[in-house]
Chains A and B, each alone.
Chain A
Amino acid sequence: MTSVLTVLFNGVAYGMLLFIMSVGLSVTMGMMNFVNLAQASFSMLGGYVMVAVTQQLGIPFLASLPIAFIVVGIVSLVLERVVFRHFYGTDDLTQVLLTIGLIFMSIAIVTYFWGSTYQQVSVPAWLTGQQDVLGFTLERYRMFLVAVGGALALVLVFGLERTRFGAIVRACVDNNRVARACGLNTDLVFALTFAIGGGLAGLAGALAANLLGIDPNFPLRYLVYLLIVVSVGGMGTISGTLIAGLVLGIGDVACKYYVPELGGFVIYAITVAVMLWRPHGLLGRRA
C-alpha cells in the first residue's frame, strides 16, 4: 500500500511538472491558436535566467522564479512585436517552420553565451532530500512542484481562462474583425496573452531546471512532451492541460514501476489512444 501511494504521489508530481512545462504552450496555442514551438526555447531561457540570477547575483531561488517569469515575458513580448505578430493569420505549417527555426537560433545563441555544457543548478537545502509526511517518505522538491503546479492551475483557470480577459482573448481569436469593431484593442490583447504564455514557459524552465538540467539542447529534448500534453489535454483549455499532465504523469510512473519492460512506451500509447478516442483532446472544444 505504501508503495502504491508513493508511486501515485510521484506520478502526480511528474504530472505537475508536465503541466507546468506545457501550460505556456497551452496558452499561446490553445487560446491564441498560434503554434509556437519556440515556447520550449522560452523555457530554456527561463532556466538560464534562474541560474544566472541565483549564482551571479546571489538572489534566492524563490525570488528568481518571478524574475524568470518577468524577463522571459518581456523577451517574448519583444519577439511578438517584432516577429510573431506578422504570422498570426498564417497556416500551421508556416508557424511550425518559423518557430522551429527560432528554436535552432536560440540553441546557437545560448551556446554562444553560456557554452555547450550543462549548467550547475542548485536549489536551497530545504528543497532537497526527503520529508516524512503521514508515514510516507516524500521528496521535498516534488512536494514543492505539486504545490506550485496546483496554485498555478487555480490562478490560470480562475484568473485567465474564466475571466473577462479570457473571453476577450477568445473573441479576438475567433473573429478578429468583429472584436475590433466592438472596440477591442486586439493587438494589445494578443501581445499581453503572448507575454503571459512566454512568461509561464520561463517560469516552467526555472522550476524544471533542477530535475531536467539546463543545456542548449533543452528545447529539442522536451518539445515532444510539451506537444503531447497540450494535444492530449485539448486546445484552448488550461484544465485540460492539467488533466492531461496528471494522466500522463501517473500513467508513466505507474507503468515504469509495475511493468518496467514497457518503459517509456506508455506515455506514447496513452497519447495515441486518447487521440483516437477524442481527436480534439480530452477537454478540447475547437474543431
Chain B
Amino acid sequence: MKTLATAAALAGLIAALSTGAFAEDSIKVGVLVGYSGISSLSGQQTDAAIKLFQKKYGEAPGGKKIELIRRDTTGPNPEVAKRLVQEAVTRDKARILIGPDFTPNTLAAAPIVTEAKVPTMVIGAATTGIIEKSPYFTRTFFATPQQCKPLAPYAVKNNWKKVYVMVADFAPGHDCEKYYISALTEAGGTVVGNVRIPLSNPEFSAYMQRIKDSKPDALFIFMPLGEPSIGALRAVNDSGLKASGVKILAVGDTTDETYVDAVGDAALGTITTGIYSTQHDSAMNKEFVKDFEALNGKSPRIGWTAISIWDAFRLVYDGLAAQSGSSFDPDKFMAFVHGRSFESPRGPITIDKTTGDIIQNIYIRRTDKIDGVLQNVEIATLPNEGFK
C-alpha cells in the first residue's frame, strides 16, 4: 500500500515536472540602457524609476522575486548591444528584457530575443515599425509619428499655415521631416522651406538667416536631446526669430525636462508635442512626481526614460502576477501584454493587440515658467494617437 502511494506521488511529481507547472521563486530581468558617456543620464533615470517602483510594489510580483541584471549599452552601439543581449539571454538566463535603448540596438536584439522567446520592452527607440521585427517586442516609449505629426494640423488650425521645417540630419530627423511635411500638406498648410542640420553643429546663425528670409508663420524643429536642442532654441531666441513673431514648434525632446534648464529663458513659449510632462494633471501623476522627488531628489528632473521604464515595469509586474503560481511562459506573457490598457502617470496607454506597439495620448505643451522653473504645460490633448 505504502509503495503504491509513493509510486503515485512520484508519478504525480514527474507529471508536474514534464508539464513545467513548477513555479520558480525568482526570475531574471535584464535592464540594458546607457549607464556611461553621453547617455548616462538615461541610466540614472532608469535606476531612479526602478527604485521607486520596487519600493511601492515590492520585489516579487506573482511570487517571483525579480533579479535585475543591469548592463551598459554605452549609447547607440549595435555590436555592443547585440553582445549584451546574447550574454543576458544565454549566460545569465534573463527571461525578460527592458531595453536595449536606441533603434540600432533594438534592431540588433530582435533575432536573439525572437529565437530565445524573451519578452522585450522597447523603452528608448522611436522608429516606426521596429516593434514588428520581433513577436516578443512591445513598446512603452513612443513612435516617431506620434511626436512629429500632431503639430502639423495644430499649426494650420491656429492659422500658422506657412511653416519652415528644420530637422537634424540623421535617420530619425529624416523620418520626422517626412511625417511632418505630409501631415502639413494634408492639413492644408505649406512648407516654405526646409533644412537639414548636421548633428555636430555649433553654429546656427546662417540657418536662422535663411529662415527669416522665407518669412514663415511658424518654425518646426526636430533636434535630438542635448546640445543640438539647446543650440537650436538658443539660436532661435538670440537671432530675434522668436521676437519677430514666428511661432516655434518642436518635438518634445527639444524642451525635455532634463535639459530645458540649460536652455534657460530662450525656451519660453516653445510649443511642443510630448508623451509626458511632470505637469500632467492627474492624481496618479501628482503622486508619482511627489514620490519620485522624495526618493531621488529634484535633480536630475524626471524625463521620458523614467516614465517609459516605469510603464515597462508596470507591464512586467502585471504580466508576472497573472502567471502567479505557475512557471514563466513567455508566450502567455506576450498574450497578456497585447491589447492591455492601463493608466500611467502620463495618462491612459493601450498596447496594440496585434503588434505590441503603443497607443497613447499626445499632449501639445507650451514651455512656461512656473515658480521660477521651466515646465512643459499641457495645453491640448490628442487622445489615443496611433503609432503609424
Contacts and interface: CB of A to CB of B under 8 A. Distances in A.
Interface of A: 3, 6-7, 10, 13-14, 17, 111, 115-122, 128-130, 137, 139, 141-142, 211-213, 215, 217, 221-222, 225, 249, 252-257, 260-261, 263-265
B261 A264 contact: no
B197 interface: yes
Contacts of A120: 261-262, 264
Interface in B201-243: 201-203, 205-207, 209-210, 213, 226-227, 230-231, 234, 238-240, 243
B372 interface: no
Given A260-B210, A263-B169, A14 B203 contact: yes
A213 B227 CA distance: 7
Contacts of A6: 209
A129 B264 contact: no
Interface of B: 37-38, 40-41, 44, 169, 195-198, 200-203, 205-207, 209-210, 213, 226-227, 230-231, 234, 238-240, 243, 258-259, 261-262, 264, 299-300
Contacts, number: 105
A118 B169 contact: no
A115 B300 contact: yes
A212 B202 CA distance: 6
Q: How would you classify the secondary structure of chain A's contact residues: helix, strand, loop or mixed?
A: helix
Contacts of B230: 118, 213
B206 A116 contact: no
A264 B339 CA distance: 45
Contact of A116 (B44, B203, B210): B44
28 contacts: A3-B213, A6-B209, A7-B206, A10-B206, A13-B205, A17-B202, A117-B262, A117-B299, A118-B227, A118-B261, A120-B261, A121-B264, A129-B240, A130-B238, A139-B205, A139-B238, A141-B238, A212-B202, A212-B231, A213-B231, A252-B206, A256-B206, A256-B207, A257-B207, A260-B195, A260-B196, A263-B197, A263-B201
B300 A117 contact: yes
B220 to A, nearest CB: 16
Contacts of B231: 211-213
Contacts of A128: 238
B202 A122 contact: no
